Amino acid sequence: MITMPRYDPKTAVEAAVMVREAASAGCVLRLVGAGTWLTAGHSVQADTELSTEQLAGITQYRPEDLTLSAGAGTTIAELDEATRAHGQWCPLLPWGDDRGTIGATIATATTGPFAERLGRPRNLVLGLECVDGTGRIVAAGGRVVKNVAGFDLTRAITGSWGTLGLITHVHLRLRARPVVDESWTVEVPSGARAVIETFARGPFAPLACVNVAADLSPASSPDGGGHDDDSQDDRLWIVRLGGNEAHVAAARAALRAIGTIRPSAPTVWDEVRRTHAPTARALRWRWDALSLRLRARFDPAQVLNRGLLGEVA
Amino acid sequence: MTSLAAELGRIVGDAHVIARATQLLVYRSDALPGLQRAPALAVFPGTRDELIAVVRALAAADAPFVARGAGTGLSGGALADEITLLGLHRLKRIIAFDPIGRTATVEPGVVNATLTRAAAPHGLHYAPDPSSQTACTIGGNIAENAGGPHCLKYGVTLDHALCATVVLPSGEVVTLDRGDVDRDDGTGAGYDLLGAFIGSEGCFGVVVDVTVRLTPDPERVITLLADFMRVRDAADATSRIIAAGILPAALELMDQPTIEAVESSVYAAGYPRDAAAVLLIEVDGAAAGLEDDARAVERLCREAGARGVRVAHDAAERARLWQGRKKAFGAMGRVAPHLVVQDAVVPRSRLAELLDEIAAIGERHGVRICNVFHAGDGNLHPNIPYDAHDATESARVHAAMQEIMTLCIAAGGTITGEHGVGLDKLPYMEQLFTPDTLDAMCSLRAVFDPDRRANPGKVVPVRACREWHGAVAARPTAHVAVAR
């Protein structure tokens, strides 16, 4: 395969120049982060790659405010390490692995095992900077934890798969790591799915609760429809409990009443995330009238990721 | 009556159209004092079909309009300046209620607290709880992305809305579904149009119905009141609690002038009158371990210099402590006839220093600033009681507010955390955002309302929108001429 020419902007201003040039030359740019997941199963007929690799690094971290800003090319691993040192974390830890970038996580709105309890990209991204398809540098939202100033460009761009703009910089809300943080492998009797799901929705709601097969691979199909006909798949769960001593002790007791539990190393989550990595398949993107208009307003020439979401040019 | 009024009357019944200037005076204000704009016409649809038909009739007449819930907004966002006001308070049905799936689908005019009351028998509640919750509507909450004290732990309106049916200003009816985005297998299937719509302040369209998430009532709640002899100690205690990894359900600060106003009113909550500030702190969740959190909060407050920490002994005492907080704005009615309830957000760690600076601004301008706010979020509400009929005092209030906004922007904060931009904050938008960003906001609006007929002239200064710049002069602001 022939390697595509590649742009590596170091700043949003450089990226904006590249996008404007591509637009006037009629080129299509394929946006890439670490190149680990950004595929929606449709092919992009691109001339050039536009990479966030040089837009990397933590630019501001205020542990006392539980907020952090980073270049889009910053890896999940780097964020995790920097925040861990302060007893905090960015719970966006997506399905897949830690080589992926925060920019791609937000661009694809990829969630992970902690999404239900601790928030998804749409809940945890406070603001972002992006270069849209017309070369505008858009500084959406802000760095503080509550903000309703102006129309919500942050939500529009989050999860847009780079079809509205190249995310260059993000501002995130962090969480404190719980004082006690335990992971357990729980085996419940077959057919007890409802019991553990009730536990997960109750007062002891764990940080994460994932149904797995014996080798930790997904026990259910990726689109959420479990193999209901095969009750074997209901039995094995990885559960993460967090809170103060007394809370976790009570939660552990409640879990023990549901099934057999044995401790797991915290690293089990890396493995669960890896084995649950999204597979490349064609997204059935909702191209309704509003969505087409949104694309047209932010990237009228379809310079960015043309065809990725199966849109008709 | 004009032909538009007659047409709207045919849809909703003449009894639900107001065209007389004297009757329209009621709709001249929202909860922001000092700004008044009279609508030319007001229409109140009573059903979903009537609402859609009204919006289509407005589209056919190319008539701009402003949607309005309960009019409790604090930014002038629901004011209609010589155009049609579309009142939604008659659309107050709870359409569907699913206690197992923990969702409810409601019409836009359902009052926030009414939804929580309906959910209560099932051990559920609607989490966003603005102080105006006994009056404000869910539709208005969606328009403003409303917050409230308990948003510290539970999140704002955005975090609780699942799906909305919306009538666009063109009359198109669309479904905006969060499910398009939040696929937990990492394969979103649509743009987050619902996320873009929430907080659009009535400029993108009108909610026909919205499905929201209901939250289980916590197993146990512990409410504490800590009092401090210095405001900065209370701010310091806030930082210590958050830094310790405790996420209270709410963490509210009230300063001495606020305490005094509350304690002198019928809402007296038993706050110590001689304290410089109190923190109202609530922890909730599973009963197991909750007392440990409460003890940790108490210890952190004392370490920060709290003179005393009191724990509410029963539900009645808790309700009383909260009533003082939620009715603090009303209590200030004793101090002066009008009240500016300001709204800004700053990095939480800078609260102490910024509160000192805000106090200095107040002194410089000779205005009295009462602080009552969501300290845990860094969401300030510096309030100024004043007499809006006194021109010189109004000018001083205005100057102080301008300085406070500039201060918050310089501190890396924002000009509104939950009240919206409306008309009131319009002048600060160009201070906060770049021309490219404001232009992109105009582009986003154009997706939903290319003719900018919904709540025109709010949120983003028109001059910031390049594509509209040339067209502005050509567009008259008022399309409805009504005989007065």
Are B191 and A160 a contacting pair at CB < 8 A? yes
Q: From first to last of its 313 residues, what are the pLDDT tens digits of chain A?
A: 457 899 999 999 999 999 999 999 999 999 998 877 656 667 788 889 999 999 999 999 999 999 999 999 999 999 999 999 999 999 999 988 889 999 999 999 988 999 999 999 999 999 999 999 999 999 999 999 999 999 999 999 999 999 999 999 999 999 999 999 999 999 999 888 899 999 999 999 999 999 999 888 888 654 444 444 454 588 999 999 999 999 999 999 999 999 999 999 999 999 999 998 877 667 788 899 999 999 999 999 999 999 888 876 5
**3-state SS, one letter per residue, for chain B:** CCHHHHHHHHHHCHHHEECCHHHHHHHHCCCCCCCCCCCCEEECCCCHHHHHHHHHHHHHCCCCEEEECCCCCCCCCCCCCCCEEEECCCCCCEEEEECCCCEEEECCCCEHHHHHHHHHHHCEECCCCCCCCCCCEHHHHHHHCCCCCCHHHHCCHHHCEEEEEEECCCCCEEEEEHHHCCCCCCCCCCCCHHHHHCCCCCCCCEEEEEEEECEECCCEEEEEEEEECCHHHHHHHHHHHHHCCCCCCEEEEEEHHHHHHHHCCCCCCCCCCCCCEEEEEEEEECCCCHHHHHHHHHHHHHHCCCCEEEECCCHHHHHHHHHHHHCHHHHHHHCCCEEEECCEECCHHHHHHHHHHHHHHHHHHCCCCEEEEEHHHCEECEEEEECCCCHHHHHHHHHHHHHHHHHHHHCCCECCCCCCCCCCCHHHHHHHCCHHHHHHHHHHHHHHCCCCCECCCCCCCHHHCHHHHCCCCCCCCCCCCCCC
Are B436 and A137 a contacting pair at CB < 8 A? yes
* pLDDT for B179: 72
Min mean pLDDT across A185-199, A286-300, B140-154, B419-433 is at A185-199
What is the residue-averaged pLDDT of chain B? 93
Higher pLDDT among residues A228 and B237, named by residue: B237
User: Which of B192, B289, B444 is closest, CB to CB, to A151?
Assistant: B444
Nearest CA in chain A to B240: A64
Chain A: give the shortest CA distance to residue B209, in Å. Answer: 18
Are B185 and A278 a contacting pair at CB < 8 A? yes
Chain B residues near residue A123 by CB distance under 8 angstroms: 155, 158-159
Chain A: give the shortest CA distance to residue B326, in Å. Answer: 19
Are B345 and A144 a contacting pair at CB < 8 A? yes
- Over residues B63-90, the pLDDT tens digits come to 999 999 999 999 999 999 999 999 999 9
Chain A residues near residue B294 by CB distance under 8 angstroms: none
Are B158 and A64 a contacting pair at CB < 8 A? no
- Over residues B317-340, the pLDDT tens digits come to 999 999 999 899 889 988 899 999
Chain B residues near residue A159 by CB distance under 8 angstroms: 181, 188, 191-192
- Over residues B270-289, the pLDDT tens digits come to 999 999 999 999 999 999 99
Are A203 and B219 a contacting pair at CB < 8 A? yes
